[in-house]
């Protein structure tokens, strides 16, 4: 018996289980935490916030699939077996959703939406003339699948796009930069910065006082990567000083964001509840099922988590 365990805390199971059963090979039985059966049958797990110790208790586990592009929610459990391949979610539909949300964030500021919403509250009719889009460059931090989708969508809208990553990439239509020196060279050119980076030891706290000081006055930040990329006190200081004109934040150090957090009431911050790249069952489960078929056929798995690189 080969079984696939769906273990995703907080997810409405019905749609996900239906999509899994539709796409998985018929010889793979889908199970849930409530009806797991013999742990020795479990070869594959789809995981989001699995209970500590669960993965280590499955003696024949072959692959762990993350229901997210990141894997921190799984590796918070130190007992996760290091020899079992861990596959990050890499779903083109999710990339598209991330790109949509990045565009939403950039255009919110580019077309003065906060200004007009404030005017609506006061019944005030006041026009700001549009900015010249090609002269308002966007910097995209992170050039994986999501970052490339973001860069492509913004380029299609007429923005001049710069992309930064740990290693140099060549991507048609955008100017790319790499490493600490590349970041320092890129930031002064960016009216908007969109972060879609993975969280690693190198990227944690990347957006600090020096980062914000390198941006031109009046720049805007859109963060759909991870909350830990930002040094909170430094962001607030940059906004209060006018160095940054606004921030559109979808991810946070602590989620849900506590009701008393200063982000909620800051006049230059827009908060959304980590919704930029939600997964859709019909697409995400097909990606996962295709990877199960690859593994069963002995083919290499894509998007394996590299414990040395931390993504």
**CA–CA dist 192, 247 (Å, integer):** 10
Q: How many CB atoms lie within 10 A of CB 105?
A: 26
Q: Are 99 and 149 in contact (CB under 8 A)?
A: yes
**CA–CA dist 64, 44 (Å, integer):** 6
Whether 226 is catalytic is yes
Q: How many CB atoms lie within 10 A of CB 310?
A: 17
The set of long-range contacts for 11-18, using a CB threshold of 8 Å and a minimum separation of 24, is 11/48, 11/67, 15/281, 16/46, 16/281, 16/285, 18/281
Q: Which of 88, 148, 226, 229 is catalytic?
A: 226
Q: Are 289 and 30 in contact (CB under 8 A)?
A: no
Cα–Cα nearest to 230, from 186, 265, 261: 261
**CA–CA dist 184, 241 (Å, integer):** 21
Q: Which of 189, 209, 266, 274 is catalytic?
A: 274
**CA–CA dist 112, 275 (Å, integer):** 22
Whether 274 is catalytic is yes
* Structure tokens given for 133: 């889009």
* Structure tokens given for 16: 């996900």
Integer CA distances (angstroms), 31 to 46, 117, 215, 291, in order:
10, 48, 50, 18
* Structure tokens given for 248: 């559109």
Q: Are 91 and 287 in contact (CB under 8 A)?
A: yes
Q: Which helix (H) or strand (E) holds 151?
A: helix 145-156
SS3 150: helix
Write out the catalytic residue numbers.
226, 274
């Amino acid at each position: 018996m080969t079984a696939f365990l769906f273990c995703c805390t907080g997810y409405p199971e019905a749609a996900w289980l239906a999509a899994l059963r539709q796409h998985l090979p018929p010889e793979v039985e889908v199970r849930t935490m409530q009806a797991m059966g013999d742990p020795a049958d479990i070869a594959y797990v789809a995981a989001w916030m699995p209970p500590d110790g669960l993965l280590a208790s499955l003696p024949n586990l072959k692959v762990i699939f993350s229901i997210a592009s990141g894997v921190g929610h799984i590796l918070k459990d130190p007992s996760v077996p290091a020899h079992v391949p861990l596959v990050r979610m890499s779903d083109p539909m999710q990339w598209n959703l991330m790109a949509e949300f990045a565009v939403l964030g950039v255009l919110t500021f580019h077309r003065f939406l906060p200004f007009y919403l404030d005017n609506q509250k006061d019944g005030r009719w006041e026009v700001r003339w549009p900015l010249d889009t090609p002269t308002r460059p966007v910097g995209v931090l992170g050039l994986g699948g999501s970052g490339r989708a973001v860069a492509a969508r913004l380029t299609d809208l007429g923005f001049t796009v710069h992309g930064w990553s740990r290693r140099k990439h060549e991507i048609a239509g955008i100017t790319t930069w790499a490493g600490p020196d590349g970041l320092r060279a890129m930031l002064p050119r960016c009216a908007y910065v969109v972060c879609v980076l993975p969280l690693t030891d190198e990227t944690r706290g990347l957006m600090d006082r020096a980062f914000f000081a390198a941006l031109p006055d009046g720049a805007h930040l859109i963060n759909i990567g991870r909350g830990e990329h930002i040094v909170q006190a430094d962001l607030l200081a940059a906004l209060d000083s006018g160095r940054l004109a606004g921030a559109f934040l979808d991810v946070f150090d602590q989620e849900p964001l506590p009701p008393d957090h200063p982000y909620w009431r800051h006049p230059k911050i827009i908060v959304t509840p980590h919704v930029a790249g939600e997964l859709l069952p019909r697409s995400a489960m097909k990606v996962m099922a295709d990877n199960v078929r690859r593994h069963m056929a002995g083919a290499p798995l894509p998007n394996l988590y590299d414990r040395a690189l931390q993504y």
